Amino acid sequence: MEELITRIQIDGQVLDEGVLKVDSFLTHQVDPQLMAKIGETFATAFKEQGITKVVTIEASGIAPAIFAAQSLRVPMIFARKSKSLTMNEELLSASVHSFTKQVTSQVSISRKFLTSQDKVLIIDDFLANGQAAKGLVELCQQAGSQVCGIGIVIEKSFQEGRQLLEELNLSVLSLARVATLSEGDVTFLKEESQGE
């Protein structure tokens, strides 16, 4: 998605150890106009699949996911990383290991929101090692829901996330695929799967 790539080139900052800071439009301050276009792009790509729910994980997945859900006219569910006071029903739960942060956390969704009738589109802001997306796939499997695809805003293609998800036979659409991150420079892979 050309507009997203241009925005990353203008506003993204490369931090040490292959981390891309995009807090001015995606992970902290959010640009709703760009998010709406991102949501529309995901919706267009997956509109033939009969999606009934969009699933993401808090916090930064929520913005692109809500716009994708709005475009598809279906509900959006975000997995919680800590149990809320009101989550008193039966839960779907999976553990997610972050290699970046070296912590394992439990992520949960109330069972009542996902059923075996659901066809799910998973959305997340970043795909790095793929552990968050894999955890969301596990939650859908526990509910008996079908995962129809995974939409990612920024994929770090030099990490193993895409490979992990493709090995699980999942279709991954990433709107920007970062090939390399070095001081002051971001390069991208150009492929059909960028959603253009």
By CB under 6 A, tell whether 12 contacts ligand G4P.
no
User: Beta strand 13-15 with 19-21: parallel, antiparallel or unpaired?
Assistant: antiparallel
Q: Is 117 annotated as a binding residue?
A: no
Q: How far is the CB of 184 from ligand G4P (least distance, A)?
A: 15
User: What is the C-alpha to C-alpha distance for residues 97 and 112, in angstroms, rounded to an integer?
Assistant: 25
What tokens does 28 get? Answer: 């902290």
Of 73, 37, 38, 68, the C-alpha closest to 55 is: 68
Q: Which is nearer to ligand G4P, 126 or 188 (CB)?
A: 126
Q: Which range binds ligand G4P by CB under 6 A, 35-43, 82-90, 123-131, 185-193?
A: 123-131
Residue 70: C-alpha distances to residues 40, 144, 151, 174, 177 (Å)? 9, 24, 15, 19, 24
Residue 169 counted as an annotated binding residue? no
Instruction: Indicate whether 180 belongs to the interface with ligand G4P (CB under 6 A).
Output: no
Q: Does 158 bind ligand G4P (CB under 6 A)?
A: no
Check residue 24 for interaction with ligand G4P (CB under 6 A): no
CA gap 147, 52 in Å, rounded: 10
CA-CA distance, 171 to 164, in Å (whole number)? 11
Q: How far is the CB of 131 from ligand G4P (least distance, A)?
A: 3
Can you tell me the distance from the alpha carbon of 81 to that of 31, in angstroms, rounded to the nearest whole number?
A: 24
Residues 46-65 that bind ligand G4P (CB under 6 A): 58-60
Please work out the total of residues on this chain that contact ligand G4P, with binding judged by CB under 6 A.
22
Q: Which is nearer to ligand G4P, 127 or 170 (CB)?
A: 127
Q: Shortest distance, CB of residue 19 to ligand G4P, whole angstroms?
A: 4
- Interacting residues with ligand G4P (CB under 6 A): 19-22, 27, 58-60, 98-101, 125-132, 156, 161
